[in-house]
Amino acid sequence: MREQIRAWLDEDVGAGDVSSWSTIPAGSQSRAVIHVKENGILAGMPIAQLVFHVVDPSLTFHALAADGDKVQKGTVIAEVEGNTHSLLTGERLALNLLQRLSGIATKTSSFIEALDGLPVRLTDTRKTTPGHRLLEKYAVRIGGGSNHRFGLYDAVMIKDNHIKGSGGITAAVSAARRQIPHTMKIEVETESLAQVEEALASGADIIILDNIYNYLMKEARLRIKTHSPHVII
């Protein structure tokens, strides 16, 4: 994370913060206050603290709230003290990360509330911002969601392009079974009841119902639970 933060700072600061250098005396000391502008779920406080520490280890970060807290508009969540130049150098990156991660956590939480009482889990995808996957998936968890696979390396997910490229669901699942560790799951994306039936017959561990009408989804769920109740949908 430190390496990632340094790269983000290099992108923003470059050769230096000319606005601060040209207007504020080098030895100036200040106290910065971070407050909330909307109600929501807070996420990213440890990362914001790390940003300021990477910029200048002498800065003091006082956290007044924690990740997962439900915060109200106007709440002061942190105070940061130290060299004014350092504060202004780290300010935007820290706020960008706090805002993005808190936004994800807040949105996730709203979906979790909508699913209250249902026998389901809300999971995320690989459709993350490049360079931010670890943080964005962390924010999903802070909001009450669960993580799906982190990358191409930790599960077999047979999608439409794999099905076309391998000659069908049965061929794809069979080929994968021969080559992956026995502990790894195989997930198959289906777009019709016929594909659901083929995925079940091939021994898929997880079946995705992708772009399927609600009435067909109900029928697919019934068939899956009747044929293979252990299969995750």
Catalytic annotation, residues: 92, 127, 159, 189, 210
Pairing assessment for the beta strands 206-209 and 186-190 based on DSSP bridges: parallel
Residue 98 tokens read as 């706090």
- Helices 193-202 and 214-227, interaxial angle, to 10°? 20
How far is Cα 79 from Cα 59, in angstroms, rounded to an integer? Answer: 10
| Residues 180/158, Cβ–Cβ less than 8 Å | no
Cβ–Cβ < 8 Å for 97, 44: yes
Q: Which residues contact 22 (CB under 8 A, 6 or more apart)?
A: none
CB atoms within 10 A of CB 171: 14
Q: Is 97 helix (H, G, I), strand (E, B) or coil?
A: helix
DSSP 130: T
140-164 residues labelled b (16+ CB within 10 A) or e (exposed): bbbbbbeebbeeeeebbbbeeebbe
For residue 209, the surrounding DSSP H or E stretch is strand 206-209
